[in-house]
């Protein structure tokens, strides 16, 4: 009790930073734990010492914005996600988002497919896409099957050439690989906007553009047309293209490397056809059988 005339002692000002530091500590711990990331590895990635990280996760002391930005980058999250005052549900969303960003492209594609609000079959409509390396027979089989089924057949490279009004080799020379990939993505979008029913053949290297390839997997019924490395090479040469072997004795080894490296992406297709050592009509019949078996060209009504 204060007597009249006595000065009242000022009340201590609460430390407003304490809740923020505690929240930051909890967020960093949660994100690191969700990613299964040892503190030692986080230290190596961020350049922040393990001792400092331990203090950060314990809520002891302050951390500079610069160091925190390095920790956020190493955790593959935005710095504001570590500082926001979101509740438990938002925390879960942030952890899932960070895991998604850190996941490889095939996993991201499966996650998007699982979360899609529409029936995946309805999203694919009656669109079939043939994938695989050049020389497997995509164009030959696709054109023959489309004629039999009376549906349009489109080669994506031809669609790109039509849009840019120049041949593919000039496109590559002028735009380079990155420019070509951008044109490829635009062409896929145009096909999706134009056709609900068709057979599409895409270039083998489309798997090098994860976003475009994931869109193909999500919006088309995909079939991997495959064959042996020797037949790939022989068919390309038979088409009059000697570039794979001309002045390049290691071409076959490179082709085998491409096949091995891209197989995990191609295996994400819904079906496969091996055209090795088979007459063309046999492979066409197999493609028709796959399309019929999986009902790829049948309309999907509401569930």
What pLDDT, on the 0 to 100 scale, is given for residue 188?
A: 95
Lowest mean pLDDT among 94-108, 115-129, 257-271: 94-108
pLDDT at position 238 over 50: yes
Residue limits of CATH 1.10.260.40 in the chain: 17-102
pLDDT of 161-213, one tens digit each?
999 999 999 999 998 988 999 999 999 999 999 999 999 999 999 999 999 99
Plot region of 240 (φ>0 → left; ψ -120 to 50 → alpha; else → beta): left
What pLDDT, on the 0 to 100 scale, is given for residue 266?
A: 93
**Rounded CA gap, 18 and 298, in Å?**
61
**Helix H or strand E segment including 225:** strand 221-226
What pLDDT, on the 0 to 100 scale, is given for residue 132?
A: 93
Distances in Å between the alpha carbon of 113 and those of 90, 223, 274? 22, 18, 27
Nearest alpha-carbon partner for 130 in 272, 295, 227: 272
* 175: its two tokens: 């735009």
Please, which pLDDT band fits residue 302 given cuts at 50, 70 and 90? very low
Residue limits of CATH 3.40.50.300 in the chain: 112-293
pLDDT at position 136 over 60: yes
Nearest alpha-carbon partner for 269 in 291, 241, 238: 291
pLDDT at position 138 over 50: yes
Judge whether 26 and 85 are in contact, CB under 8 Å. Answer: no
What pLDDT, on the 0 to 100 scale, is given for residue 117?
A: 54
Q: What is the pTM of this model?
A: 0.60
Q: What value does the mean pLDDT take over residues 220-226?
A: 96
DSSP per-residue string spanning 61-124: S---HHHHHHHHHHTTS-HHHHH----HHHHHHHHHHHHHHHS-HHHHHHHHHHH-SS-HHHHH
What pLDDT, on the 0 to 100 scale, is given for residue 64?
A: 74
pLDDT of 14-59, one tens digit each?
445 567 778 788 888 888 887 777 888 888 888 888 888 888 888 7
pLDDT of 91-105, one tens digit each?
566 667 767 777 776
| Higher-confidence position of 230 and 249 | 230
Q: What value does the mean pLDDT take over residues 260-281?
A: 92
Judge whether 208 and 214 are in contact, CB under 8 Å. Answer: no
Share of the chain above pLDDT 70, in %: 78
The architecture in CATH of the region 17-102 reads Orthogonal Bundle (1.10)
The architecture in CATH of the region 112-293 reads 3-Layer(aba) Sandwich (3.40)
**Rounded CA gap, 90 and 80, in Å?**
12
Distances in Å between the alpha carbon of 254 and those of 35, 38, 224? 35, 38, 20
**Rounded CA gap, 161 and 190, in Å?**
13
DSSP letter at 300 equals -
Lowest mean pLDDT among 35-44, 127-136, 219-228, 243-252: 243-252
pLDDT at position 284 over 90: yes
Lowest mean pLDDT among 47-61, 75-89, 232-246: 232-246
**Rounded CA gap, 112 and 100, in Å?**
10
Please, which pLDDT band fits residue 9 given cuts at 50, 70 and 90? low
Q: Given the structure tokens 């809740």, which residue do they identify?
A: 19
pLDDT at position 4 over 90: no
What pLDDT, on the 0 to 100 scale, is given for residue 89?
A: 40
């Amino acid at each position: 009790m204060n007597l009249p005339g006595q000065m009242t002692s000022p009340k201590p000002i609460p430390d407003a930073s304490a809740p923020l530091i505690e929240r930051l500590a909890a967020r960093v711990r949660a994100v690191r734990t969700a990613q299964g990331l040892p503190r030692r590895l986080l230290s190596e990635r961020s350049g922040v010492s393990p001792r400092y990280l331990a203090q950060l996760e314990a809520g002891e002391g302050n951390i500079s914005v610069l160091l925190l930005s390095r920790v956020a980058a190493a955790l593959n999250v935005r710095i504001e996600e570590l500082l926001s005052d979101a509740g438990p549900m938002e925390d879960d969303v942030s952890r899932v988002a960070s895991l998604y960003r850190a996941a490889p492209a095939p996993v991201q594609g499966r996650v998007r497919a699982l979360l899609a609000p529409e029936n995946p079959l309805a999203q694919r409509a009656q669109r079939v896409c043939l994938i695989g390396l050049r020389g497997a027979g995509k164009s030959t089989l696709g054109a023959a099957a489309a004629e039999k089924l009376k549906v349009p057949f489109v080669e994506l490279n031809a669609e790109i050439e039509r849009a840019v009004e120049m041949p593919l080799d000039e496109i590559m020379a002028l735009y380079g690989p990155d420019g070509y990939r951008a044109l490829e993505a635009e062409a896929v979008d145009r096909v999706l906007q134009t056709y609900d029913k068709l057979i599409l053949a895409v270039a083998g290297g489309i798997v090098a553009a994860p976003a475009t390839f994931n869109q193909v997997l999500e919006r088309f019924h995909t079939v991997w047309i495959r064959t042996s490395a020797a037949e790939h090479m022989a068919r390309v040469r038979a088409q009059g293209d000697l570039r794979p072997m001309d002045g390049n004795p290691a071409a076959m080894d490179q082709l085998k490397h491409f096949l091995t490296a891209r197989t995990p992406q191609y295996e994400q297709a819904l079906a496969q056809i091996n055209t090795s050592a088979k007459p063309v009509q046999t492979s066409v019949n197999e493609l028709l059988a796959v399309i019929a078996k999986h009902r790829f060209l049948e309309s999907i009504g509401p569930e």
